[in-house]
Amino acid sequence: MRGLGVAGCRRLGLAGSLGVGAGGWIAGRLPAHDPWGWWTGRGPAVTTAGSALAYTGLTVLVVAWWAYGRNGASARHALVTLAWWVAPLLLAPPLYSADVYSYVAQGAMVLEGHDVYSQGPSVLDPAGLAGDAAASVGRNWTDTPAPYGPFFLLLARGAVALTGGTLVPAVIVLRLVAVAALALIVWAVRRLAREYGADESGALWLAALNPLLLIHVVGGAHNDGLMTGLALTGAVCALRGRWVLGAVVIGLAMMVKSPAGLALLFVGVVVGRASAGSPARRISTGLFGPGLVAAATVLAVSAVSGTGFGWLHTQSVAAGIHTSLSVSSDLGAGLGALAHLVAGADPDAVKSAVRFLGLAAAAALVARLGWRAALGRTDPVLALGLALTALVVLSPMVQPWYLLWGVPFVAVRARRGPAGRRLAVLSVALVYETHPSGSTPATGFAVMGAVAVVGLLVLRREAAAQRTGGEGGGIGVPGPRRADTVRDGVPTGATPV
């Protein structure tokens, strides 16, 4: 696909995104009732055709993205390409998840004065504010308290207040919030790349043009993009010596989703190194300074928001839901069934124990990465990306888009390294796990596994080609430079993305 050129890859990706968006209008996560008539079902046969179109478009988008990574492009070209690929998804119904309906319903709950941390969307009047959104919430979440922090719920409340809770406009406003989060990711990734002298366009390729991000942060309007964008911004501030502002921003990220709190550990390393005074004072500043500022931010926003501090007690509600991407949950369920069969043990107790061990292993890995960062053996930004990835892999609940927590940090520091290349392959594989409607069919897992195996084999082949002096040119493995000519305003011999 190298001969396609960056302009061809851009057009091919646009065609794929158009297919995803058009298929989503038919086979996306359509609401239970849309008073505008925009997002309504059209029968089984048409829905099947829409699914086929969406899957075909997704595959075209993946191929275009992969090929774009093998061609030269400037950061400016990558940004324009990103805009092209995002545009077809803006007005589509929610794709690959119903979570945005929960966001709308929870925003309405806050607006009406319900305790969003002890009740679920089912308390809303079906004929009242955001009733259509509440009726469209996934069944696992209808009576589940919100696991999100007050900062995000204030944004959801604003979206409902702005639109009167009408379903389509409310969803689109929250999608625009997700697009703003994507813009924040782009801004922060470019600044971090400059801080480290890294390739901006390459970092953008993995962190922002990533199909996993496009379909789940833009298409699905997931708030994980906002959490990640704020955490990245906090890291930028810390590296530029404005660690107090960085800690405030990370505090806001924690009040979207709590895993952003891991950033404080690695920002603390940066702060400690840059502090003046004795070693004890530098260690004390790094350990406590960012944490105290973030805690003050959390307390202030929680108090002002009117939602209180109940969110501190709802962070584990999602863990009660089994997702097949969770290694610890799957292993726990298998061992629990075996223990029950052999010894009559309680399978749930075994599953809980294995899940706990998974989280303990994640904590140990995070601590090790933090220690290595403190000793200067691992860069703090890379260590943070790896820590977030470890937390996702070993968490009791894993969704495909959770991988995006750590990807941008790794994209800046190790895109060409083993971690960056493997995250690229995982990103490609995970886009196939979920149906456009949000379901997770067995075929999705089969395709995901096949794509992961093929991707890893491709990486091995390209690495071998690079070692023997052949044309690598793959993801993170730059091929031989060509003569610089200009095509569509882009130097064809530019640094590979």
Range 476-482 average pLDDT: 36
Percent of the chain that is helix, strand, coil (3-state, to 5): 70, 0, 30
For 176, the token pair is 């625009």
Half-sphere exposure of 199 (CA within 13 A, CB side): 21
Residue 441 to residues 21, 26, 393, 420, 435: CA-CA distances in angstroms?
20, 18, 21, 28, 7
pLDDT 10s digits, 344-374: 888 989 999 999 999 999 999 999 999 999 9
Determine, yes or no, domain membership for 85.
yes
Residue 72, pLDDT above cutoff 80: no
For 437, the token pair is 């409607």
Q: Which domain holds residue 18?
A: 2-321+397-467
The residue with tokens 């430079």 is: 481
Determine, yes or no, domain membership for 125.
yes
Nearest CA-CA partner of 104 in 150, 52, 32, 153: 153
The H or E element that residue 200 is part of is: helix 200-207
Contact 89, 28 (CB under 8 A): no
Determine, yes or no, domain membership for 332.
no
Range 134-161 average pLDDT: 93
Label residue 320 by pLDDT band (50, 70, 90).
low
Determine, yes or no, domain membership for 244.
yes
pLDDT 10s digits, 245-274: 999 999 999 999 999 999 999 999 998 888
pLDDT at 313: 84
Residue 136, judged by CB atoms within 10 A of its CB (0-12, 13-18, 19+), counts as buried
* Cα–Cα–Cα angle for 324, 327, 333, rounded to 5 degrees: 70
pLDDT 10s digits, 415-454: 888 889 999 999 999 999 999 999 999 899 999 999 999 9
Q: DSSP letter for 321, please.
A: S
| pLDDT higher at 315 or 445 | 445
Determine, yes or no, domain membership for 363.
no
How far does the chain reach from its first CA to its final CA, in angstroms? 14
pLDDT at 366: 96
Range 163-176 average pLDDT: 96
Is the Cα dihedral 409, 102, 129, 144 positive or negative?
negative
Cβ-based neighbours of 21, under 8 Å, separated by 6 or more: 57, 88, 89, 91, 92, 219
Residue 242, classed as helix, strand or coil, is coil
What are the CB-based long-range contacts (under 8 Å, 24+) for 74-79? Answer: 74/201, 74/490, 74/491, 74/494, 75/190, 75/200, 75/201, 75/204, 77/6, 77/10, 77/201, 77/489, 77/490, 78/200, 78/201, 78/204, 78/205, 78/208, 78/209, 78/497, 79/186, 79/204
Determine, yes or no, domain membership for 359.
no
Label residue 319 by pLDDT band (50, 70, 90).
low
Contact 294, 262 (CB under 8 A): no
Count of structural domains within the chain: 1
On average, the pLDDT of the chain sits at 89
Range 46-72 average pLDDT: 93
pLDDT at 318: 67
Contact 465, 471 (CB under 8 A): yes
Residue 49 to residues 24, 39, 45, 114, 375: CA-CA distances in angstroms?
11, 16, 6, 41, 56
Report how far residue 120's alpha carbon sits from residue 108's, in angstroms, rounded to the nearest whole number.
11
